[in-house]
């Protein structure tokens, strides 16, 4: 088994790391907040006092951080790369700007270190169940080396292309997800306002041409589905502010390539309004509150 350093134990990182611990890897973990670390040490992982301490002697380094500035700050600002064995494989699972991923990967390559950008799709439920989808950018040989570890955290591993490609594919997916969730929320709110039962309407949509991931596995209306954020006050899951961040990344990519993304821009504005209303920490499916009113 590998000696793995895992840095970033938030809503996604902690369950991902737990699956690696269950697989029997020698796991060393680090996070700025103690809660995630405690959860992992209970599962048998070793805690480190710093990121630099965590990566010492690691065969594989995995990071799951909130945004581009955190990834660049860790690998470049704190010069974590200087403390990683050149024979190690680095896998960053954060969702960040493609240019940031390419910048850090180039710095790693300059030190002889192989690095993959491998953002994930599947949410916290997928992270806990080990059914995530990994969308990978980087060298095919490095991916072949990292694939067995990724497959212990996920069900699907896609090679999108060279460094940064994983991030491009991920922001395209999340832009579409933001549009679909907002559209689903709007349709449900319209139906309920006109006297329909939200569960019945959801069942109809799920078997009709409007079907999508939100209606099938992540319904935004409270009480329609069990074990989704909508049925626990929108706690946990994928935060509104994180969706807003990803829609911002999509917007930046569109500007850089002069691409037209009017629906993505509209979704970004809707999530910005929702966040400004005090819902930034709630799951992104809480966007339904923007349309239903009353809470």
Say if 83 falls within a structural domain.
yes
Considering the domain architecture, whether residues 59 and 200 belong to the same structural domain is answered as: no
Considering the domain architecture, whether residues 97 and 155 belong to the same structural domain is answered as: yes
Per-position pLDDT tens, the chain of length 295 = 799 999 999 989 999 999 999 999 999 999 998 888 999 999 999 999 999 999 999 999 999 999 999 999 999 999 999 999 999 999 999 999 999 999 999 999 999 999 999 999 988 889 999 999 999 999 999 999 999 999 999 999 999 999 999 999 999 999 999 999 999 999 999 999 999 999 999 999 999 999 999 999 999 999 999 989 999 999 988 899 999 999 999 999 999 999 999 999 999 999 999 999 999 999 999 999 999 875 5
Say if 295 falls within a structural domain.
no
Considering the domain architecture, whether residues 132 and 176 belong to the same structural domain is answered as: no
CATH number, domain of 276, equals: 1.10.1040.10
Of 162, 183, 209, which residue constitutes the final position of a domain? 162
Say if 93 falls within a structural domain.
yes
Considering the domain architecture, whether residues 234 and 285 belong to the same structural domain is answered as: yes
Which residues span the domain enclosing 227? 168-290
Considering the domain architecture, whether residues 126 and 253 belong to the same structural domain is answered as: no
Considering the domain architecture, whether residues 156 and 260 belong to the same structural domain is answered as: no
Contacts of 2 (CB under 8 A, 6+ apart): 25, 26, 59, 60, 149
Of 162, 195, 214, which residue constitutes the final position of a domain? 162
Considering the domain architecture, whether residues 158 and 172 belong to the same structural domain is answered as: no
Considering the domain architecture, whether residues 254 and 126 belong to the same structural domain is answered as: no
Of the candidates 24, 35, 153, the one whose C-alpha atom is nearest the C-alpha of residue 91 is 153
What is the domain count for the chain? 2
The torsion defined by the Cα of 73, 166, 230 and 129, in degrees rounded to 10, comes to -100
Of 162, 183, 201, which residue constitutes the final position of a domain? 162
DSSP states of 128-163: HHT-EEEEEES-HHHHHHHHHHHTTTEEEEEEEEST
Say if 77 falls within a structural domain.
yes
CATH number, domain of 47, equals: 3.40.50.720
Catalytic residue status for 170: yes
Q: How far apart are CA 214 and CA 224, in angstroms?
A: 11
Q: How far apart are CA 181 and CA 190, in angstroms?
A: 14
Say if 286 falls within a structural domain.
yes
Considering the domain architecture, whether residues 140 and 172 belong to the same structural domain is answered as: no
Q: Which of 22, 52, 87, 170 does the annotation list as catalytic?
A: 170
Say if 69 falls within a structural domain.
yes
Q: Which two tokens stand for residue 22?
A: 């269950």
Considering the domain architecture, whether residues 84 and 138 belong to the same structural domain is answered as: yes
Considering the domain architecture, whether residues 153 and 239 belong to the same structural domain is answered as: no
């Amino acid at each position: 088994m590998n000696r793995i350093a895992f840095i970033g134990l938030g809503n996604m990182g902690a369950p991902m790391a737990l699956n690696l611990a269950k697989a029997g890897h020698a796991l060393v973990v680090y996070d700025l907040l103690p809660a995630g670390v405690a959860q992992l040490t209970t599962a048998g992982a070793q805690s480190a006092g710093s990121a630099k301490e965590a990566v010492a002697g690691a065969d594989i380094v995995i990071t799951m951080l909130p945004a581009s500035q955190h990834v660049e700050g860790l690998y470049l600002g704190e010069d974590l790369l200087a403390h990683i064995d050149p024979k190690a494989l680095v896998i960053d699972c954060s969702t960040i700007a493609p240019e940031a991923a390419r910048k850090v990967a180039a710095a790693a390559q300059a030190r002889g270190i192989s690095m993959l950008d491998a953002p994930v799709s599947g949410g916290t439920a997928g992270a806990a169940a080990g059914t995530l989808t990994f969308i990978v950018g980087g060298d095919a040989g490095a991916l072949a080396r990292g694939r067995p570890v990724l497959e212990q955290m996920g069900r699907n591993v896609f090679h999108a292309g060279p460094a940064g490609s994983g991030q491009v594919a991920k922001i395209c997916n999340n832009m579409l997800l933001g549009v679909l969730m907002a559209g689903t929320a709007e349709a449900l709110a319209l139906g309920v306002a006109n006297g329909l039962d939200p569960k019945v309407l959801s069942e109809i949509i799920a078997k009709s041409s409007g079907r999508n991931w939100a209606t099938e596995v992540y319904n935004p209306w409270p009480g329609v589905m069990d074990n989704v954020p909508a049925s626990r006050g929108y706690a946990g899951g994928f935060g509104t502010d994180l969706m807003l961040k990803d829609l911002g990344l999509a917007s930046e990519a569109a500007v850089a390539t002069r691409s037209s993304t009017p629906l993505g821009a509209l979704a970004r504005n809707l999530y910005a309004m929702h966040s400004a209303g005090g819902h930034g920490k709630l799951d992104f499916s809480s966007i339904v509150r923007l349309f239903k009113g009353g809470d």
